[in-house]
C-alpha cells in the first residue's frame, strides 16, 4: 500500500476518531509497573482521561485551523502578487510602446533598466505637475483674496451676489460618476478654483462705465434728508452734476432698454436691463434718445441731463439695481473699473 493511500485512509478516518474520542465513556484506569521487585500503582481517573483527550482534540483542531488560514492567506498573496506583476508588465509595455513608438505586441520584453527609467520619468513629471499646481494655487489664492476684498468694498451683500450668480447664463450637463472619481474636483484646489470663477463672473457682470464723461456728486447713495420734505429718507441712487460741455448721458453697460417714459417723480426716465439680473436707471432727463426694446452699448446716447420730474435743479439721477435691490452705483462701478485695470495690466 502506497504512502498516499495510507495518508488518505488516515485522513478519511479522522472524523470518526475525533467523534469517538470525544464521546467515548472513559473508565478509571490503573497503571502497574515493577521497580526493584516492588509493584507500584498509578491511577488515572476517567475525568482526567476525558479532559486530556478532549484538550488534545481542541488543540489539534485549532492548530489545523491556523495552518489552513495561513495557507489561504499565503495563496491569496501569491495570486495577488502574480496579478500585480502582470499588471505592471502590461503598464510598462504600454509605456515603452508609446515612448518608442512601438506596436504593443512588439514590446514583449522589458528590462529592469527600462522599468527604472520609465518610473523615474513618471516621477519627474509628477513632481513638475505638483510644483506647477502649487505655484498656480498661490496665485489663485492671492487673486481670490483681492477679489473678495473688492467685493466687500463694493458694498454688495451676499444676497445681491447670489442674485447675480443665479442669473448667470450657464448650462451643460453633469456626469455624476466623473464627479466622484475625478480627483481634480475634490479638495482645496477645486474649491479655490470654483470660488475664483464665481467671483470673476460677479465682477464681470458689474457695470464699469459712468454715464457722464465729467461730473461731480451732489447727493450720494444712502440715507439723507429729502430736498422737499426735509425728512430722512433713503436715497436709492446718486445725483450727478454734469461738468462736461455737452449733456450727453450714456449707458453704464451694454443691455436692452426696458423703459423709456415719463415718471411722475423721476420725470423722463430710461431703464436698461443688463445681464445677470442687473438694471440701470437714468432719471430727470431733458430728453430721451432711445426706445423700449432697443439694444444699447456704453457708446449709445441714452438722453440728455435735465431737470424733469421732482427735481431742484439740472442733474442726472443714476440707480444700479440687482434683482430689484438698489446698490451704491459709485462703489459698484469703481470696483468694476479697478478689476478691469488689474486685468488689463496682466
Per-domain residue ranges for the chain? 3-85, 158-346
Confidence (pLDDT) at 321: 92
Least confident piece of the model among 157-161, 260-264, 309-313? 157-161
Query: Distance (Å, rounded) from C-alpha 342 to C-alpha 346?
Result: 7
Instruction: Please enumerate, as own/partner, the contacts of 115-118 that have beta carbons within 8 Å and a separation of 24 or more.
Output: 118/92
Given a cut of 80, whether residue 91 has pLDDT beyond it is: no
22 Cβ contact list (under 8 Å, min separation 6):
53, 54, 57
Query: Distance (Å, rounded) from C-alpha 178 to C-alpha 170?
Result: 20
pTM for the full predicted model: 0.57
Q: Which residue has the higher pLDDT, 219 or 200?
A: 219
Least confident piece of the model among 100-104, 162-166, 253-257, 328-332? 100-104
Question: Taking residues 91-114, what's their average pLDDT?
Answer: 56
Given a cut of 60, whether residue 180 has pLDDT beyond it is: no
What tens digit of pLDDT does each residue of 28-76 get? 777 777 767 677 777 777 787 778 778 887 888 888 888 988 999 999 8
Question: Taking residues 339-343, what's their average pLDDT?
Answer: 69
Q: Cβ distance 330 to 216 under 8 Å? A: no
Query: Distance (Å, rounded) from C-alpha 302 to C-alpha 272?
Result: 9
Beta-bridge partners for 288: 303
> Using the 8-state DSSP alphabet, how is residue 300 labeled?
S
| Secondary structure class of 33 (helix, strand, coil) | strand
102 pLDDT tier (thresholds 50, 70, 90): very low
C-alpha torsion sign, points 85, 90, 93, 95: negative
Domain range 158-346, CATH class: mainly beta
Instruction: Please enumerate, as own/partner, the contacts of 140-145 that have beta carbons within 8 Å and a separation of 24 or more.
Output: 140/192, 140/193, 140/196, 141/192, 143/196, 144/192, 144/195, 144/196, 144/199
The whole-chain average pLDDT of the chain stands at: 78
Amino acid at each position: 500500500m502506497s504512502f498516499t493511500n495510507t495518508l488518505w485512509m488516515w485522513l478519511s478516518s479522522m472524523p470518526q476518531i475525533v467523534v469517538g474520542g470525544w464521546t467515548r465513556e472513559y473508565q478509571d484506569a490503573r497503571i502497574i509497573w515493577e521497580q526493584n521487585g516492588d509493584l507500584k500503582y498509578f491511577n488515572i481517573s476517567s475525568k482526567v482521561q476525558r479532559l486530556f483527550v478532549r484538550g488534545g482534540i481542541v488543540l489539534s483542531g485549532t492548530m489545523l485551523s491556523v495552518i489552513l488560514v495561513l495557507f489561504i492567506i499565503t495563496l491569496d498573496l501569491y495570486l495577488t502578487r502574480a496579478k500585480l506583476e502582470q499588471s505592471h508588465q502590461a503598464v510598462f509595455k504600454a509605456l515603452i510602446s508609446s515612448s518608442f513608438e512601438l506596436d504593443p505586441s512588439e514590446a514583449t520584453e522589458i528590462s529592469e533598466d527600462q522599468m527604472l527609467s520609465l518610473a523615474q520619468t513618471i516621477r519627474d513629471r509628477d513632481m513638475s505637475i505638483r510644483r506647477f499646481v502649487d505655484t498656480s494655487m498661490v496665485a489663485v489664492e492671492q487673486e481670490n483674496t483681492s477679489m473678495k476684498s473688492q467685493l466687500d468694498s463694493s458694498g454688495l451683500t451676499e444676497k445681491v451676489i447670489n442674485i447675480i450668480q443665479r442669473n448667470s447664463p450657464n448650462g451643460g450637463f453633469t456626469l455624476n460618476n466623473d464627479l466622484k472619481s475625478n480627483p481634480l474636483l475634490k479638495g482645496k484646489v477645486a474649491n479655490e478654483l470654483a470660488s475664483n470663477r464665481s467671483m470673476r463672473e460677479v465682477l464681470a457682470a458689474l457695470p464699469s462705465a459712468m454715464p457722464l464723461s465729467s461730473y461731480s456728486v451732489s447727493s450720494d447713495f444712502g440715507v439723507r434728508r429729502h430736498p422737499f420734505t426735509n425728512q430722512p429718507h433713503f436715497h436709492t441712487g446718486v445725483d450727478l452734476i454734469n461738468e462736461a460741455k455737452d449733456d450727453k448721458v450714456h449707458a453704464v453697460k451694454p443691455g436692452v432698454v426696458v423703459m423709456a417714459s415719463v415718471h411722475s417723480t423721476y420725470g423722463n426716465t430710461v431703464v436698461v436691463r443688463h445681464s445677470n439680473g442687473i438694471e440701470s436707471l437714468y432719471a430727470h432727463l431733458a430728453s430721451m434718445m432711445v426706445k423700449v426694446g432697443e439694444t444699447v452699448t456704453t457708446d449709445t446716447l441714452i438722453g440728455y441731463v435735465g431737470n424733469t420730474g421732482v427735481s431742484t435743479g439740472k442733474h442726472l439721477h443714476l440707480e444700479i439695481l440687482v434683482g430689484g435691490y438698489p446698490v451704491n452705483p459709485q462703489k459698484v462701478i469703481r470696483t468694476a473699473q479697478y478689476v478691469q485695470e488689474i486685468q488689463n495690466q496682466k
